Amino acid sequence: MSVQQRERKEHKRAPLHFRTRITADGREGLPVEAGRYRLVVSLACPWANRLLIARRLFGLEQAIPVAVTDPVQEMIEGDYHWVFSEANGDPDGRDRVLGIHALREAYLAAEPDYTGGVSVPAVVDTTTGHLVSNDFPNLTLDLGSEWRALHRPGAPDLYPAHLREEIDTVAEEVYQEVNCGVYHAGFAQSQEVYDRAVTKLFRRLDLLEQRLSTRRYLVGDRLTEADVRLWVTLIRFDPVYHGHFKCNIRKLAEYPALWGYTRDLFQTPGFGDTIDFEHIQRHYYATHDMINPTRIVAHGPDPALLLTPHGREALGGSPFGPDATAPDPV
């Protein structure tokens, strides 16, 4: 198989086309302003989940309202799209603030000739109805820095300057081989591509198991951006990636450290309270009809297992360290 043929059979994420930044002083696009922007998410999407966790940890729930799409995407003109629906609580199938049915309407409002993909998370300017950004890797970083004046008292620093180099290194490995790795395996269109992707994924999981066997968090002694980026994939692993995406060499629950780490963070305020397993499983099993043509949604595993003791405290460290606090209950 040629390189060109192999690339056509591999899953590739669409480029991030909309990257306007929202900054404290508006120097690079738009200014930070409480209530002006609407964060559009799917509760099923791991990339959107990052923003929901950061928003909770920083206490920005009132400053950045959220719009939640229906978990099952709708076919519009030959493509699946994120939409708002009456079944998901939106009157007349439209977001009650933006007045749109499909997220792509905000994309086209910003750029009428746009023909690329539509993804969540997406930040929309409610004053214009225009999409501002779908740049998920940098949106969480900007919430931690540019929105600092609106943070709650005791908000953590997820990207401390002295740890940034290590955070970036770990996060990039996780992104390439775990966050994207499950999709490379799940959407593979040839045995060769699948074999390569699933092998690389589990090699990285094995290395992460070793790393987390002797430390509670990925970098340092408290939660950082690296943990947020890994956890959103781990929490979806056994419910959908193991079976639906054929990532089944091992279950996450068969990794003592990774499974304990996943439970530890699930029980940490700001993490488990952003998860909706019904949305997660309905989206994956009911939308990807090329993988699951019957659209039957699998049962299990039992989410109550995530509340079992994990014993990770023995490794030292604490979620927010001595100088930050947990967010208030939802």
Binding site listing: 82
Q: Which of 48, 129, 112 is nearest to 82 (CA)?
A: 48
**Active-site hit among 45, 107, 159, 241:** 45
Task: Name the token pair of 178.
Answer: 């775990």
Length of the chain: 330
Q: What is the spatial distance between Cα 282 and Cα 265, in angstroms, rounded to a whole number? A: 23
**Annotated binding residues for glutathione:** 82
247 flagged as catalytic: no
Report which of 285, 303, 302 is spatially closest to residue 294, judged by C-alpha positions: 285
What type of residue is 207?
L
How far, CA to CA in Å, does 210 sit from each of 173, 203, 207, 213, 319? 15, 11, 5, 5, 20
107, 159, 183, 284: the catalytic one is 183
How many of the other CB atoms lie within 10 Å of CB of 199? 13
Q: Is 183 marked active-site?
A: yes
- Give the sign of the dihedral formed by CA 323, CA 170, CA 51, CA 35: positive
**Which residue numbers are catalytic?**
45, 183
